[in-house]
Amino acid sequence: MERAFTEGFPRSLCDEGGACSEGEAWGESGACSESGVCSEGGAWGEGGLSLRVLILSSWYPNTPNPVKGVFVREQARALRACGLEVGVVYPFDEEIPAGVVRRADEEGIVTWRANSLGGPLNSRQPFRRRWARLSSYHSALKLLRQAAGQFQPDILHAHVAYPAGILAYFFTRGRELPYVVTEHMSYLRDYTAKWQHRILLKAAFEKARLVIPVSPALAGQIESLGWNLNLRVLPNVVDTARFTPNGGRGAGEGSGRRGTDAEQDGVNPGHRGTDAEQGGAGSERRGTDPRQDEAAPGQDGADREGGTKEGIEGLRPLRLLFVGGMDETEVKGLQFLLPALARFARERRFRLELIGDGSMRKHYEVRARELGIEGSCRFRGVLPPQKMPERYREADFLVLSSLKETFGCVLIEAMASGLPVLATACGGPESLVTGETGLLVKPGSSEALLDGMREMARKLPEYEPAVLRAYADAHFGPKALARELKGIYRDALVR
């Protein structure tokens, strides 16, 4: 298995593999230019023609859920900016009426959307559910045929094997069209537990020219299946240009926090959604004394917990940020973070802003009240992506308390904002978080999270926003990863 990570970092593209080496980008006719930046017309192909990539995705943003599969859209944008012609097929858009196909130019990317399911599947009626799934596959393949006929791709790129990779497998049978599969799904092994899923996923993965897990941890999970695969690890693309350190200063330069309250950004707390893979913010913090800021209102919960005067008085409230879903799987770990915060409140005042929503949100709100930290926790719901950079800039550090992650886009968004992170070692974060960007702690442990928050509070002045920002941009930004993907496509086409 080839990995695009070296100790957590993407590898430089090697010229032996046919891709540009570090500091180079593909120029016309497939030659490397010296600019190091992908430019329009800089894609490779016979006679200098641009490669045409058709993306087929199981997840993709829409109006009801603007953050679902947002990393797929960021990848499509990055490829287009690097000179490739890109189209997207999303057959599972619940916003589209059944039987309707919508083709639109979305920021220069031709996108086909349809609702092949036609509505929610009823788990209480297994026969109808299976029939609906088969019917959905048939409709999705019909949409893919239509899109491929109009777009004429050179390569098909499926995101999430179930079901997009399976569709790519069936669609390319009898066609001279290579495909690759990027896998994001943390519960892949749960799907392979069912024999019918295992058969379909094995066929889809083994026929793919390359399988691209988004982290070494996910690669290990796929390898453990024992299938004959060509694996190459490549992280998600994050649009790092959207995020800047506090005060809009590039790479950590400039003044400190503006001191605004979260209520002043004009966001409607009732905005709904499902999963919040958006994030981000920095603050005055690094290089300043955390004792010097004024205390913020609403800290009654922290004050009630007691603690010594020396441990609370004179310290401004730490501003913490959590970004993630709140569904019944509880995979984001709030059941461990909230008790840890209740104990932390005895030592330090804080304000936790929680961005995200789901069926467990009310339960977590009640739990915060039971723990006496309700006044220190603000549940905001899911916010539009354009509101997230400000939320990162108003925080001291991000907390990711997940039990399982294949990647962790919010960690990179935080770093791009000059913000350090406290994350659990739950899969993806181990390849993202370094000693210069944050701390890793044991997952599923309130004690570990408490120790991590204590250490983060102590180390805040040591983190350099410029270093955090540069790290995120160099290893996960659109330009760096678009060059990696072009090398992957070239390898896939010559296999």
pLDDT for 275 beyond 50: no
Tell me the per-residue pLDDT of 419-463, one tens digit each, with 9 for 90 and over. Answer: 999 999 999 999 999 999 999 999 999 999 999 999 999 999 999
Do the first three CATH levels of 2-237+477-494 and 240-475 match, i.e. the same topology? yes
Tell me the per-residue pLDDT of 55-108, one tens digit each, with 9 for 90 and over. Answer: 999 999 999 888 899 999 999 999 999 999 999 999 999 999 988 999 999 999
Q: Which pLDDT value is given to residue 374? A: 97
Confidence of residue 495 (pLDDT cuts 50, 70, 90): confident
Tokens of 191: 């799907």
Task: List the chain domain ranges.
Answer: 2-237+477-494, 240-475
Tokens of 148: 């491929």
Tokens of 439: 């701390």
Report the chain's terminal Cα–Cα distance, integer Å: 15
Residues 109-126 have a mean pLDDT of 75
pLDDT for 30 beyond 50: no
**SS3 call for 353:** strand
Tell me the per-residue pLDDT of 323-334, one tens digit each, with 9 for 90 and over. Answer: 999 999 999 999
Residues 134-159 have a mean pLDDT of 96
Q: Which pLDDT value is given to residue 190? A: 86
SS (H, E, C) 238-290: CCHHHCCCHHHCHHHCCCCCCCCCHHHHCCCCCCCCCCCCCCCCCCCCCCCCC
**Cβ count within 10 A of residue 106:** 14
Peptide bond connecting 153 to the previous residue in cis, omega within 30 degrees of 0? no
Tokens of 450: 């408490």
Length of the chain: 495
Q: Which pLDDT value is given to residue 85? A: 96
pLDDT for 344 beyond 70: yes
Q: Which pLDDT value is given to residue 67? A: 87
Average pLDDT, the chain: 81
**C-alpha closest to that of 242 among 68, 478, 480:** 478
pLDDT for 46 beyond 70: no
119 compared with 142, residue with greater pLDDT:
142
pLDDT for 10 beyond 70: no
pLDDT for 9 beyond 70: no
Q: Which pLDDT value is given to residue 122? A: 52
| CATH superfamily for domain 2-237+477-494 | Glycogen Phosphorylase B; (3.40.50.2000)
Q: Which pLDDT value is given to residue 294? A: 37
**DSSP for residue 391:** H
The CATH fold assigned to 240-475 is Rossmann fold (3.40.50)
* Contact call for residues 425 and 255 (beta carbons, < 8 A): no
Task: Tell me the C-alpha distance between 328 and 382, whole Å.
Answer: 16
Q: Which pLDDT value is given to residue 271? A: 35
Tell me the per-residue pLDDT of 364-373, one tens digit each, with 9 for 90 and over. Answer: 999 999 999 9
Residues 39-48 have a mean pLDDT of 42
Tell me the per-residue pLDDT of 206-260, one tens digit each, with 9 for 90 and over. Answer: 999 999 999 999 999 999 999 999 999 999 999 999 999 985 433 333 333 333 3
Task: Tell me the C-alpha distance between 113 and 348, whole Å.
Answer: 49
Q: Which pLDDT value is given to residue 277? A: 39
What percent of the chain is predicted at pLDDT more than 90?
67
Q: Which pLDDT value is given to residue 81? A: 94
Non-local CB neighbours of 22 within 8 Å, separated by 6+ positions: 12, 13
Non-local CB neighbours of 388 within 8 Å, separated by 6+ positions: 278, 279, 280, 323, 355, 413
